Structure 1
Amino acid sequence: MDRRDLCRAALVLPLASALPVSAGAASGLTRVRPGDAAWPSVALWQKLGETLKGRLIKLETLFAPCQRSAVSAACLELGKYLSNPFFLGDQASATQVSGWFNAWKNEPSAYAIQANTHDDVAAGVRFAREHKLRLVVKGTGHSYQGTSSSQDSLLIWTRSMNRVEIIDKFVPQGCAGTVSAVPAVSAGAGAVWSDLYHAVTTKAGRYVQGGGCTDVGVAGLVQSGGFGSFSKGFGLTAAGLLEAEVVCFDGQLRVANACTNPELFWALKGGGGGSWGVVTKVVLRTHDLPKYFGYVGGKIRAKSDSAFATLVTRVMDFYADQLFNPHWGEQISLGTDRSLKLSLCSQGLSNEQVMAVWKPFFEFVRAVPEHYEEVEKLRAGAWDAQPWWDIAWNPSLRPDQRAGAPAYHAWWEGDQDQVGMTIYGYDSLWLPSRLLAKDQRKTLVDTLIAASDKHSVGLHFNKGLAGATKEVIEQARQCATNPAVLDAFALVIIASGGKPSYAGLERSVLSKARSFIEAEVETRRIDRAMALLRQLAPNGGSYVSESNYFNDNWQREFWGANYARLQSVKQLVDPEGLFFVRHGVGSEAWSEDGFTPQKA
């Protein structure tokens, strides 16, 4: 199948063109805000809008229509669809979560460019660079860290660039004769995983390694590293990247792959979104689709502390002996009420095989009803993989019911509670596989139980690659993600949140006070629980997209030994520090909000 024309503008550089090199990280010039003398005049904004053919938007807060009129059509639409993540992703002023307690809140940019092409993106980049503006990049706004929201900035919004194309035989540009053609899928920067799963799996009968949340932006997940339910079987999302198109700080469109601009390509594979340029398109490898996908669910509550200790011991033994392999992913969680919740997925195992694996564990629980209660019925099974993301087949998917929405856009019921939420606290830690050794397992179990006494604890087995195939491990090793993931059997996530708190959303004073107290309590509980686990796995590392906003050791935690190389790439591809996200590579050169250079 024909790839695409990369030579349609002078923005595309010849293959031999090198990226500019600089010894500096930041330009040394303070960025401007509205009201500053250097802020672009109305005439300049109008000229930019004309260049963009009306795709420049002056933004206001998400709930501004309700402040003008509570019965307006725009306000009523907000009330109707605020719990719909695809709706939020389609709003220039919105983010998928509404903020983080004492950290950040959803605040719209001054202007947004609704980019349809990389020419639109380039115009925005050049304008921001020329006028010393804070630049923000957003696809769907699915960022817990708030990296796609910044007041007084210019937003480049790529949601409209969402074309998806199946490619039968793809060879990265500049790699002809050195690599073999492989099946792939290309996706614009605004595409979400529902778009790719529909095209690649539901329609084409293949598989692409993507994210669990169907409304997450494809380009953003790639740059974060990226995990899905079946990561132990197919690896990091970033490892599947074959090529990307990126508008760099100078407004030039560059191709990045293993043969062309390889350092930029490496940094895009897990080096964090928003730091390297504006990704406008990615091409990802596709895989043969396993015959079966499966699911195991249920919730068990122990009736005593000793029974809970036995249950946690049993499930960790069971994981180490039966589930620590490429077939299994997703999570278990331990609750403060002595509960164990199962929510796991399998790939490549038939219904009979899944049932055979889990039969001993289910029988163990049901044999002693005096010790254990099935709060949610234990269940397991496997089905044909192709309709896994088909709304008509899978009842766990909630469809986007807005008029005109793609018929295949849907989100998992289990993701509903995070839509629009205010994060109270969030932290993550990779647990090394040595903790599964028999002489270490009791210490692991005791620590998990002690942590779950402080706060519920989630073990995300698919977000650690230990137990994966050698091929998956080696491909992940070629990414910028913290190498700690290679020997981690799971990522521990401890998190909590409350109701949406978008600006202008009316909440009573009493409700706000209660939320404040609740957030303070939850934050302390999360910190105490995670402190116990960090004693178990010191320097374990943390996943950049699901991490603590207040992590003081973010360079080491997010990227480990890869950070020094990432700094060098940053100097190479963005010598002026135009692209800034808090706790992103090179952000040390700027203030917390990215407006003021910091002295070395």
Structure 2
Amino acid sequence: MLRPTTIWQACAQAPRTPDCLARLGEARNPIALGDDPGGTQISWWLDGWTPRASAYAVAARSTADVVAGINFVRQHNSRLVVKGGGHSYLGGSNAADSLLIWTRAMNRIDLHDAFVPLGSSMPPKPAVTVEAGCMWIDVYTAVTTQAGRYVQGGGCASVGVAGLVQGGGFGSFSKRYGLAAASLLQAEIVTADGIVRTVNASREPDLFWALKGGGGGSFGVVTRITLQTHDLPEHFGWAQFTVKASSREAYHRLVERLVDHYAENLFNPQWGEQLVFHEDEVHVSMVCQGLDDRRAKSVWAPFIDWIRASPADFTFDNEPQIGARLARRWWDLKANPGLVPDPRDGAANQHGWWRGDGDQASLFLYGYESQWLPATLLEPAQRGQLANALMEAAQFQVVELHVNKGLAGAPAEVNALALQCAMNPKVAEAFALMIVAAGGPPPFAGLPITPPDMTKAHSQAERVAKAAAVLKALAPQSGSYLSETDFFRGDWREAFWGENYARLKAIKNRYDPAGFFFVHHGVGSEDWSPDGFTPVRS
């Protein structure tokens, strides 16, 4: 067993020592944080959770190691947490006085030309089997760069595979390929009784369904998953630019025009990722699939021409970057300059992360809220209301619309498969996930950085809440995505799972009647104190 410590513990105990400075040097490296048993992608949540390394960690290399860890915790009536990639915003892989099962070293990947789940009569499908410690960059390298296929995983390349799938899972191209969970064909899981179970649509189908969006860390420790792979389009592409408005009136016209352009030209399976609204500017950071360079540019030409026709009102920060490249090279660090290689000595050649994702590593979250926005807001009669709300909310805090994290506009078969998963069915009606967040550097002693102003942090959290409230008012019952949400959300059961929660709770009670697996706002967590140590149910 290991004795993990967080970076922040090491620096508080011995400030500016070589160990502190070496680990601090990796605090902005999302892959290094996953490689550290005491590391978490988010360093703290204001008034929510703080990093507390487990007392001990099992560095699992096999399913047998996971079984041994679970049996030990059950026999000693201890607290257990699980970490693959460590990306839980809500602190799911973080708990003091616990045993950590750390799956990072379980990273085997096997490709299948014709996979049939155990005990199933379904036709064979091309697939990939992935152990729980893999990151998506590992899977994309094997499936896309090397084999020329596509698998629906996460947009953030350093996220762990098992946690993302259990949360439902969105990637940049989910408007075309759906939820990561919808591609799940089979999973191996160790439940609270220490039994290794292979589950699929034919074997223990209720538990299998719960793993498709019911949330990680609630039903057992997933050790291996098998996902269907898909034909790879010839091209993936991008559109990146920022437009600044010279006045409030001009900004209002800009937001209205962008909403119209999205609804009429981009609300389809080809386009995903983000539209970002600032106080007086908008930032487009989108990707596409199935369009070559010429077609990607042509989609944006009317909007860009409209901007350039009013130079007194609108300016680009730089020339718009719109183009496409061979899809097989999308996750190839040698071919895609948008990827940052892991700079550590001895790092795997394929390991890297998207340039924009590095800022999230070790972030101290002041506030984070999300809500699905229904596609009815894109109807002509509703677009003005949406544009007004976006403009109003952006005066408080930056607003992001993640249009790949809502499945309205996706092919009918994609939505049908999503509705066979456990997450809130409202995802099929949503055109985007609205996210409003704020954060800053980690607030710990012993760091050679200026600590954040906590008064300012609370003020920023209030601005996040105000901005989110404006947009939530458009669709107060539309729900939210459990992997990117507010730590303090009161209606979490309804928001994350809707009508599916009762079934999930029944499955939880069947496979984990003692509440052995606990995560904040996970299925069954209402039966426990906030720290997961004390039962509160009758």
Distance (Å, rounded) in 1 between the aligned partners of 2:324 and 2:519:
41
Give the 3-state SS of the residue equivalent to 1:160 in structure 2.
Answer: coil
Q: How many residues of Structure 1 are paired with residues of Structure 2 in the alignment?
A: 538
- Structure with higher Rg: it is 1
Counterpart selection for 1:515 from 446, 453, 474: 453
Q: Which amino acid aligns with 1:327?
A: Q
Q: Which amino acid aligns with 2:223?
A: T
- Residue 303 of structure 2 corresponds to which residue in structure 1? 361
Deviation (angstroms), 1:377: 2.6
Distance (Å, rounded) in 2 between the aligned partners of 1:162 and 1:65:
28
Distance (Å, rounded) in 2 between the aligned partners of 1:558 and 1:76:
39
Distance (Å, rounded) in 2 between the aligned partners of 1:151 and 1:233:
41
Deviation (angstroms), 1:66: 4.4
Q: Which amino acid aligns with 2:107?
A: N
Q: TM-score, normalised by structure 1?
A: 0.88
- Residue 215 of structure 1 corresponds to which residue in structure 2? 158
Q: Which moved more, 1:263-272 or 1:64-73?
A: 64-73
Deviation (angstroms), 1:140: 1.8
Contact 1:498 1:515 (8 Å CA) reproduced: no
Contact 1:249 1:578 (8 Å CA) reproduced: yes
Q: Taking structure 1 as reference, are residues 180 and 552 closer, same or farther at Cα in structure 2, changes over 3 Å only?
A: same
Deviation (angstroms), 1:81: 2.0
- Residue 569 of structure 1 corresponds to which residue in structure 2? 507
- Residue 170 of structure 2 corresponds to which residue in structure 1? 227
Deviation (angstroms), 1:68: 6.1
- Residue 27 of structure 1 corresponds to which residue in structure 2? none
Contact 1:98 1:105 (8 Å CA) reproduced: yes
Q: Which amino acid aligns with 2:345?
A: A
Contact 1:225 1:269 (8 Å CA) reproduced: yes
What is the CA RMSD across the aligned residues, in angstroms? 1.3
Counterpart selection for 1:91 from 23, 30, 36: 36
Counterpart selection for 2:234 from 279, 288, 291: 291
1:190-209 alignment runs, 5 A limit: 190-209=133-152
- Residue 14 of structure 1 corresponds to which residue in structure 2? none
1:324-473 alignment runs, 5 A limit: 324-336=267-279, 338-473=280-415
Contact 2:341 2:353 (8 Å CA) reproduced: yes
Contact 2:14 2:446 (8 Å CA) reproduced: no
Distance (Å, rounded) in 2 between the aligned partners of 1:89 and 1:427:
24
Distance (Å, rounded) in 2 between the aligned partners of 1:127 and 1:166:
34
Contact 2:16 2:446 (8 Å CA) reproduced: no
Q: Which amino acid aligns with 2:19?
A: A
Deviation (angstroms), 1:163: 1.0
Distance (Å, rounded) in 2 between the aligned partners of 1:61 and 1:235:
36
Contact 2:7 2:20 (8 Å CA) reproduced: no
Give the 3-state SS of the residue equivalent to 2:209 in structure 1.
Answer: helix
Deviation (angstroms), 1:487: 0.5
Counterpart selection for 1:189 from 128, 132, 142: 132
Q: Percent identity?
A: 49
Q: Which amino acid aligns with 2:523?
A: V
- Residue 447 of structure 2 corresponds to which residue in structure 1? 506
Q: TM-score, normalised by structure 2?
A: 0.98
Give the 3-state SS of the residue equivalent to 2:158 in structure 1.
Answer: coil
Q: Which runs of 5+ in 2 are unaligned?
A: none
Q: Taking structure 1 as reference, are residues 340 and 115 closer, same or farther at Cα in structure 2, changes over 3 Å only?
A: same
Deviation (angstroms), 1:65: 4.6
- Residue 142 of structure 1 corresponds to which residue in structure 2? 87
Deviation (angstroms), 1:453: 1.1
1:585 and 2:528 are equivalent in the alignment? no
Deviation (angstroms), 1:61: 3.4
- Residue 41 of structure 1 corresponds to which residue in structure 2? none
Deviation (angstroms), 1:586: 0.4
Distance (Å, rounded) in 2 between the aligned partners of 1:171 and 1:561:
31
Contact 1:61 1:504 (8 Å CA) reproduced: no
Distance (Å, rounded) in 1 between the aligned partners of 2:201 and 2:318:
48
Deviation (angstroms), 1:379: 2.0
Distance (Å, rounded) in 2 between the aligned partners of 1:108 and 1:376:
44
Counterpart selection for 1:122 from 67, 74, 95: 67
Contact 1:98 1:500 (8 Å CA) reproduced: yes
Q: Taking structure 1 as reference, are residues 438 and 106 closer, same or farther at Cα in structure 2, changes over 3 Å only?
A: same
Q: Deviations over 1:485-524 (max 9, x none)?
A: 00100000001110024x554367xx44x43122111111
